[in-house]
Chain A
């Protein structure tokens, strides 16, 4: 019946117990929401981008613990990052930031990368989700 807390790292559990950057920015100029079509996990990211730099980022997530935790790690990592650097972020870096994930849970990190890239893409094209 699912995973247990022992299978996750301390960093992972800390993100789960104290998620960073939760919510939605009132003055976001880059927003994206992605859903994993297979399992229905959902990640929403709102960012305020000024002069090519992500000034603030907030996330909302629905799904299994890895999705929540990857959303939290993502929103924390990208704050202060240039959009150029942010689009180069990889799934592996998200996995590392949450203290590791088993292969079968890495789809959560892939969803985080997807929502980030869509958000930046939307900002570049001036559209919002």
Chain B
């Protein structure tokens, strides 16, 4: 059976060039980057090089990068780190309703501990409005956290505009307002420059850009102090204690360099595949809805709601044919949680339940697209035949 992986927003396969770069640090170059001897120095040099590579991907300085265990830890460190150190200055956070759970959950946690939270809507196109951000800013607002691009529908948020707004507030004398953006989905797909974006904190994850799972980074603007969430060691300039995972960091650095170098090529490729997919799906299937702004979105992602059917059934059907995709809805113990992101677009429950994310990668081919469309069309047809919401299939037996 052919296997087609269309879930690159969940994770990516590790690039063989990245494996090659990290292998020596799993074998002969095993030193602890904090050790003073040659083994340690070798590891330290590798970590420093990776730090420069990751910094370069987002236009930052190397000493503004803190390595973490992944995107979730980066988001926790950014949000809790800044809010907990600044709580005497204010306890109000602005965020959006479509953040990844690692941002949403961290902010929920703070809300339970007394912080006020404003969650901005996204309207039917899945994009935050600048005027809503502006209107939400209060005298006690300490943090704005809005993702750069959404993980389910790929919509790109007006991050540079929010950054400019924060900068303007600072120029008017506000010293205690900071801006964080979760760039886990955007990195390697959008050209990012932290100066242009104007953010103070920016989260990254390695495994979304063809490096292994278990590593991420947080950009912390020079001069900004956070309350460390992990203590008991001097690593990462006291901002994140714990022995560096050298091999993973080296892999992240190599992947960041490749992502930067190959970004245009990868984007052209995935955009071509995605557009071909959407064009054929539109011809083959009726009663479908594309979710999110189709212009202002990541080039590799397509999110479609299929009316009359439920996403999990479609996902399993595709999985049985070797096609890997994602759905934002989950059903367990008789309770259903339709994707909050799709619901935030104002879609009805049926469309929210029938949403599937297809996310393309650099190694997919046009043949993959053709195979997926065939399998998808058959699966949708088969599930619709079963559906009491669809036209009734009356039979005489």
B392 near A40: Cβ-Cβ < 8 Å: no
Residue on A with the closest CB to B397?
A56
A68 touches B386 (CB 8 A): yes
Look across to chain A and name the residue whose beta carbon is closest to the beta carbon of B383. Answer: A68
0 or 1 for each of B290-332: is its CB under 8 Å from A? (1 = yes): 0000000000000000001111110111011000001111111
How distant is the Cα of A36 from the Cα of B335 in the complex, in angstroms?
Answer: 9
Write the nearest CB–CB distance from A16 to chain B, whole angstroms: 6
Q: Is the CB of A17 within 8 A of B317?
A: yes
B89 CB, nearest partner CB in chain A, Å: 38
Number of chain A residues close to chain B: CB under 8 A: 41
Nearest-Cβ distance from residue B307 to partner chain A, whole angstroms: 11
Report whether A64 and B396 are in contact in the complex, using a CB–CB cutoff of 8 Å: no
Q: In the docked arrangement, what's the CA distance between A64 and B335, Å? A: 11
Do the beta carbons of A60 and B394 come within 8 Å of each other?
Answer: no
Q: Which residue of A lies closest to B7 (CB)?
A: A1
Residue-wise, chain A 13-37 has the 8 Å CB interface mask toward B (1 for contact) of 1001101001111110000010010
Give every chain A residue within 8 A of B383 (Cβ-Cβ).
Answer: 68
B224 near A: Cβ within 8 Å? Answer: no
Question: In the complex the two chains form, what is the Cα distance from A105 to B330 in whole Å?
Answer: 11
Chain B contributes a number of interface residues (CB within 8 A of A) equal to 38
A51 within 8 A of partner (CB): no
Q: A24-B393, A25-B397 given as contacts; is B334 within 8 A of A61 (CB)?
A: no
Q: Tell me, in angstroms, the Cα distance from A1 to B338 when the chains sit together.
A: 11
Contact between chains at B313 and A65 (CB < 8 Å): yes
Q: A1-B327, A24-B395 are in contact. Are A63 and B310 (CB under 8 A)?
A: yes
Q: Is B38 among interface residues, defined by CB-CB distance under 8 A?
A: no
Q: Is B349's CB within 8 Å of the partner chain A? A: yes
**Is residue B389 within 8 Å, beta carbon to beta carbon, of the partner chain?**
yes
Residue numbers of B with Cβ under 8 A of A are 10, 308-313, 315-317, 319-320, 326-336, 349, 353, 382-383, 385-389, 392-397
Measured CB to CB, the residues of A under 8 A from B are 1-5, 8, 13, 16-17, 19, 22-27, 33, 36, 38-44, 48, 56, 58-65, 68, 71, 103-105, 107
